[in-house]
Amino acid sequence: MSAIDLFSPLAVGRMTLPNRVVMAPLTRNRSTPEGVPRALNVEYYRQRAGAGLILTEATCVSPTAVGYPLTPGIWNEAQVAGWRAVTDAVHGAGGRIHCQLWHVGRVSHPDLQPGGIAPVAPSAIAPAGEAFTMAGPKPFVTPRALALEELPGIVADYRAAAANALAAGFDGVEVHAANGYLLDQFLRDGSNRRDDAYGGAIDRRARLLMEVMAAVVDACGADRVGVRLSPVQPFNDMRDSDPRATFSRVVDLLGDFPLAYLHVTEVGRDAPGAAGPFFDPLELRARWRGVYMTNGGYDQARANAVLAAGRADLVAFGVPFLANPDLPERYRRGAPLNAPDPATFYGGDAHGYTDYPALAD
């Protein structure tokens, strides 16, 4: 029996992936100001259709979910139509694509909010750092704590976004509960100081995520839904007093849903302890009965090793996919990789976005 590697097929939900090279969600800030994907985005995703699965850049579920300029949404008809052009192109090239659903919570800024209102969060705690606005970086503001009666509206936004994703032709969705955004802010006790049914003990901090998951699963079917967690990621000033206990329990609770996959990023290993007492995120693999995806600075050799050891079923690649639209084929052939240009990661035009050469070029 041959060892599992990046080119072993895998059943994920209702799909069979031809390889295990997943394109990680990558914010590129190249949508229209109204959050509509455009022709440039269509070409970008089409070029990368050789991935076993594409996870889109984080996509806002509502106007109040926005936290960065020129990021896409999926709450209105124009955005759905823009994404339909993307999914049609990816499917036409033989690919598969999930939409990552996003609410940034406290790391937005009034400049990015409708009517200049304050961003929302589980608790009125301002993160350290700066928001990126159309006028440049500005210090984060103190967010407004969501009232108990507002939380069903957040859940409804995710449900509607999930339904819109299917209408746009996506093969499924990934709920973004990582990287210091709203759902992650509820999970970790450094950002959630509530004393109601959504704060305190781990199960209560996880309640909003579980309600969102139930709504999204109802809209899409569990076999078209994944979720992303970031247990040791300090980005956006995030921390927890006991990440191992918190995320072990969260994974157990997510096990009630027969999801397509669980996506856990290992980002934070390079600063162990910055987000709370460090533990190895790959420990969570043993608690998950389904498909497990990992992410965090992997190259081909490390990816094959973690797959062969059974510690993950899929590996998501970020930066390598920025500069190598045909990354799986390069890995298959042992071909050299294009070097990425960090100056073009966020915002701009086709340069550093759709002009990286493929092997065929």
The residues that are catalytic are: 181
A 10 A CB-CB count for 256 gives 12
Residue 322 phi, psi dihedral angles, 5° rounding: -60, -45
Pairing of strands 21-23, 136-139: unpaired
| 7 Cβ neighbours under 8 A, 6+ residues apart | 19, 20, 328, 331, 332
Say if residues 178 and 229 touch (Cβ distance below 8 Å): yes
Q: Cα(257)–Cα(304) distance, rounded to whole angstroms? A: 28
H or E segment to which residue 209 belongs: helix 207-220
User: Any idea what DSSP says for residue 73?
Assistant: B
Q: Cα(15)–Cα(40) distance, rounded to whole angstroms? A: 27
A 10 A CB-CB count for 333 gives 10
The CA-atom distances, in angstroms, between 157 and each of 30, 79, 124, 153 are 23, 15, 21, 6
